[in-house]
A = this chain, B = another copy of it.
Amino acid sequence: MDNAGCNKFDPMGAAFDEARAAATRGEVPVGAVIVRDGRLIASDGNRPRQLRDPSAHAEMLAIRRACEVLDDERLTGCDLYVTLEPCTMCAAAISFARIRRVYFAAYDPKGGAVENGVRFFDQPTCHHAPEVYGGIRESEAATLLRGFFEGRR
């Protein structure tokens, strides 16, 4: 991202760019971006099909990359922007990584685990809960996902 150091860096916009790139690879269009102090640390899109890895969700790849970049298994002070409500696997990984804030776009009643499903961050077995802001640019994310699935019928 060549605008990473710029005041106008738009993390959710970058997450949408990653989501659209995922769609062009034939992946479910979800993108994720991790920032700290306004700087881009890592970003990626869904790649389970490409990598033959069921854990290769956008959030997981971005978290793993950010840990590599920062050489730390804890992403203290980092915020995650993602175009879809994180699933159960990703919600737990977000908690383990000690992400500070999660901003997500579309809600996911079928597979989400933040405001839907197991609501992991509200559970006693969740030992770190980020602040959560859902529904940002929700309709844009929903349109992107709907377009992708309609195109595959």
Contact residues of A with B, CB < 8 Å? 48-49, 51-55, 60, 63-64, 67-68, 71-74, 87-93, 96-97, 110-113, 116-118, 120, 123-127
Q: How far is the CA of A64 from the CA of B126 in the complex (A)?
A: 24
Chain B residues with Cβ under 8 A from A126's Cβ? Answer: 88
Bound-state Cα–Cα, A145 to B90, Å = 26
Contact status B125-A88, CB under 8 Å: yes
Q: Bound complex: CA of A48 vs CA of B73, how far in Å? A: 7
Query: In whole angstroms, how far apart are the Cα atoms of A52 and B74 in the complex?
Result: 8
User: With A117-B123, A120-B88 in contact, do A64 and B73 touch (Cβ < 8 Å)?
Assistant: no
Copies held by the complex:
2
Chain B residues whose C-beta falls within 8 Å of the C-beta of A110 in the assembled complex: 125
User: What residues of B have a CB within 8 angstroms of the CB of A53 in the complex?
Assistant: 64, 67-68, 73
Closest-CB distance, A20 to chain B (whole angstroms): 22
**Chain B residue at minimal CB-CB distance from A72:** B52
Task: Say how far A63's CB is from chain B's closest CB, in angstroms.
Answer: 7
Taken together as a complex, chains A and B put the C-alpha atoms of A118 and B53 apart, in Å, by: 24
B68 contacts A64, CB within 8 Å? no
Query: In the complex, which residue of chain B has the Cβ closest to the Cβ of A49?
Result: B73
Docked complex Cα distance between A95 and B143 (Å):
27
A95 to chain B, nearest CB (A): 8
CB distance from A76 to the nearest CB of B (A): 12
Given contacts A111-B125, A111-B127, 11 further A-B contacts (CB under 8 A): A48-B73, A52-B71, A54-B93, A55-B55, A55-B60, A55-B93, A88-B89, A88-B92, A88-B120, A88-B126, A110-B125
